[in-house]
Chain A
């Protein structure tokens, strides 16, 4: 889309260089004369913001690596040394840690923009796929980096994630041990994670170069999704896009600074200030906020699917949730790029954004937490006050006949005037029956908001009644509950439905709004109005 080069070397040196290495021409064509659609909004500034994030992470990371010690005994202490003794080490460390979060914040907004404006559609499929690769590399780099401070969360996140790979059939176990460099997360793991954490950002930088190359080949998409048709549709990249990008970058840096200087630890987890202890599992293991949606998808699978057990299903779904992005250019069948002109798709897209946020929320919660229930957890305690207690051992002829024998024993006891009986099984066929003869039957009903609270109430009630009852017959009733896991399941379902069903079908069925003929048209129309 760049067209023929308009660069003209002005000095003798640039003319000389242009014949040998046209690098100035390249820079001029790519970042000065490059035609940019004139209607780009602020969502298009995240490319520049992300480039800045990558530079910040690499520069601060290189400095940190000068002071960091990748050793299980010294890693935590070396980070403390950076924070306390290295000149402005606290600033560099905060910048790097907060920078990771900012990088993901920007990349998510960049991706949602691509989704909304259809920036993945022809001819930008490769551009989109390169972006997905960058995102995947970012996730890997962030995960590796998170393990380096060797706090409790570092260690246990590394353990959980490497164990996930062990869930893959056949190769899983071997792959896991190969990644960890042993049978558990230990010194070899830390060493290789450090090595890879230093390597991957440069791989990212390489793919970013390809991403920008592909962008400059196909040209930028724009909010209308209409192709550039004439020079009237565009403005030169410099100064128009450059200055707008710089303004947005400065705004972004303000947010970045607020976190660095005033909330440096707000996005991290307190447990990561506890040195890693392989013998003590923390009460909750959660990834950083930017990976929570995938964690929720992983944990949504608490059931087996045929021969696939729940763990493997979760792992596959988690990888599939990113993998599906690679197929998106072919899943969305609509010929209209921008959702600005797709009123129905826009609604589904908004739900999709909410669903992603819900998944993120679920990922940070205890999966067993109950969000809604049809009623209280109830139990009825029955016991007999007074009367005489007798016990009798009995043996059933076979294991299958145990229930029948027990029932007949109960009847026998009832025939002897038992108010209440209890069978306590000792083995496959033998058991003891306890019966209270005479006395009066008592009942107490308990109710609570959770299983744990109910059990506490039962214990309290038993203690209160105490020796007044020889034994209790307890009947527990569990209401219908809707847990965090259930919510994750619904959200996961929508996540996949959106890509696999909604986008393919909607593209064929919906009637899009009127798409303008050119980029310039609505712009000029707005001016008249």
Chain B
């Protein structure tokens, strides 16, 4: 009798679970990113383009205080520099991103691409000789430039809304990258005062106007479409990298650790069988 009762209860709970799931609001669609699967990695060209989108559009309002320019050029970063041997000429040539067959890594401080990115930014600092506030070109050791000196200034410039820090934004939202992509492409075009309708934002109205528009950012690669969807996918890719810069290393190490543990488990199992062979249990 009790058994029947328990199975009835389980069945009922399962039904309830289904009914509950049906009542929830619309979720972001699953967008296919190259980093999705357990073995997936970053598409470095997309991360590079995404950084361009961030620099030219997002950075006008959104800070990324936990990132420094050097991070872009560290191992696994989108602008890491490797010297790769050209098999035809035998010469060492620079390669930006992730070389297919390895190469010798160049430290971020020696990376001219990275220095160009950093020096293109103006950083407010204290003059070391006079102690007065001064503007200077950025260095690779600088943190990403914050568009506003503080939250009050940020709110004052944005109609009272605070443009959130994007350092770990894909980790700080349910559905992560899928949500960010959905949000960036989810504008309906309708607006109400300073709020804009977005299908994926909780409550449906967001203070951020549609940030990406067709043809807004000029990509150097002519084969990449300059559409809202492409911009959104690229900047999401960049933000995912920014939130989880060690993902590729993590997944690589994971394979080795788990392979080792599987072998160890196998050996321990055999040892266990050996030890207990003469014992009934």
Chain A interfacial positions (CB closer than 8 Å to B):
38-40, 77, 80-81, 83-84, 90-91, 94, 235, 239-240, 243-244, 246-247, 250-251, 253-254, 257-258, 260-262, 264-265, 270-271, 273-275, 283, 344, 347-348, 350-351, 354, 358, 365, 369, 371-372, 449-450, 523-524, 526-527
Contact = CB atoms under 8 A, between A and B. Distances in A.
B251 A371 contact: no
Contacts of B5: 351
Contacts, number: 114
Interface of B: 2-3, 5-6, 9-10, 13, 16, 19-20, 23, 38, 65-67, 71, 164-165, 167-168, 171-174, 176, 202, 243, 245-246, 250-251, 253-254, 257-258, 261-262, 264-265, 268-269, 271-272, 275-276, 279-281
B253 A283 contact: no
Main SS of chain A's interface residues? helix
Contacts of B262: 254
A347 B2 CA distance: 7
A125 to B, nearest CB: 27
28 contacts: A38-B280, A80-B167, A84-B71, A84-B246, A240-B275, A243-B268, A244-B272, A251-B265, A254-B265, A257-B258, A258-B258, A260-B254, A261-B253, A261-B254, A270-B172, A270-B174, A271-B172, A273-B243, A344-B2, A347-B3, A347-B6, A354-B6, A369-B23, A371-B20, A372-B16, A372-B19, A523-B280, A524-B280
Contacts of A526: 280
Nearest to B37: A262
Q: Point out which of A40, A80, A524 has the most chain B C-beta atoms below 10 A from its C-beta.
A: A80
B182 to A, nearest CB: 15
A449 B24 CA distance: 12
A347 B6 CA distance: 9
Contacts of A94: 250
A371 B2 contact: no
Per CB-CB distance, the 7 closest pairs between chain A and chain B, nearest first, are A261-B254, A273-B172, A347-B2, A250-B265, A247-B268, A80-B66, A273-B171
A527 B281 CA distance: 9
A449 B165 CA distance: 38
Contacts of A523: 280-281
Contacts of B276: 240, 243-244
Given A80-B66, A90-B250, A265-B171, A371 B6 contact: no
B116 to A, nearest CB: 22
Given A250-B265, A254-B261, A273-B171, A90 B246 contact: yes
